[in-house]
C-alpha cells in the first residue's frame, strides 16, 4: 500500500467467481482507505461491501451474468507503473485458499499480458449484462451501455479478430 501515497500510482483489479475469504476481504478493506483503487468482478458469492464510507470508498464491485459461464480468475496489481498480472484456478474462498491445492501463476509473456488486459478492459465497461453493485450488493445506476453491447460477446469477437 506504500504506492497509494500521493504521486504514486496503484490499483487492484480482480476477476473471480466467488469472494468470501475474510482475510482477503480484510486486506481489500485496508487497501481502500489507504487510497488504493480496487475493481472487483465477482460472478457469484460475494461477501465484500463496496462504497462504504471510510471502509471501502475506493472499492467498485461488478457482476457479469450472461449466456456463458466464465471460469477465468485474473489478478492484476498496479504498483507505481509496474503491472503484476496473475491467472489461476482459485476463487478467493476459505475452502480454496486453506483446504485445496490451487494454482496461480504470473503472466509474463507480453502478448498474452496485453490480451488479458484487453479482456479486463472489456469486462469492466458498461454493458447490458454487467452490473455495478452498491453497499447492499444490489445493482446501482451507472452509465448506460449501448443497447446491443455485451461484454461476453465483445470478448469472443475480440478473440475472433485475433486469429
Residue 147: how many other CB atoms lie within 10 Å? 7
Distances (CA, A) of 31 to 3, 22, 38, 125, 132: 10, 14, 8, 23, 20
Three cell numbers written together for 41: 468482478
- Tally of domains in the chain: 1
Question: Which domain CATH number covers 46?
Answer: 3.30.870.10
**83 touches 76 (CB < 8 A):** yes
* pTM of the complete model: 0.83
pLDDT in tens, 111-158: 999 989 988 888 887 777 788 899 999 888 776 655 666 666 676 676
Domain that holds residue 49: 2-162
Give the integer Cα–Cα distance in Å for 82 and 61.
23
Close Cβ partners of 158 (under 8 Å, ≥ 6 residues apart): 118, 119, 122
pLDDT for residue 147: 61
Lookup: cell for 39: 475493481
Amino acid at each position: 500500500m506504500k504506492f497509494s501515497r500521493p504521486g504514486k500510482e496503484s490499483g487492484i483489479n480482480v476477476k473471480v467467481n466467488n469472494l468470501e475469504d475474510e482475510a482477503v476481504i480484510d486486506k481489500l478493506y485496508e487497501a481502500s482507505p489507504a487510497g488504493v483503487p480496487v475493481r472487483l468482478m465477482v460472478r457469484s458469492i460475494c461477501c465484500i461491501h463496496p462504497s462504504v464510507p471510510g471502509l471501502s470508498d475506493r472499492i467498485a464491485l461488478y457482476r457479469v451474468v450472461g449466456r456463458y459461464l466464465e471460469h477465468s480468475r485474473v489478478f492484476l496489481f498496479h504498483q507505481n507503473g509496474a503491472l503484476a498480472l496473475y491467472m489461476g484456478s482459485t476463487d478467493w474462498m476459505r475452502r480454496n485458499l486453506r483446504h485445496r491445492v490451487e494454482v496461480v501463476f504470473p503472466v509474463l509473456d507480453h502478448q498474452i499480458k496485453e490480451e488479458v488486459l484487453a479482456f479486463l478492459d472489456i469486462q469492466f465497461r458498461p454493458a447490458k449484462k454487467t452490473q455495478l453493485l452498491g453497499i447492499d450488493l444490489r445493482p446501482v445506476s451507472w452509465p448506460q451501455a449501448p443497447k446491443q453491447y455485451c461484454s461476453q460477446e465483445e470478448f469472443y469477437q475480440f478473440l475472433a479478430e485475433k486469429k
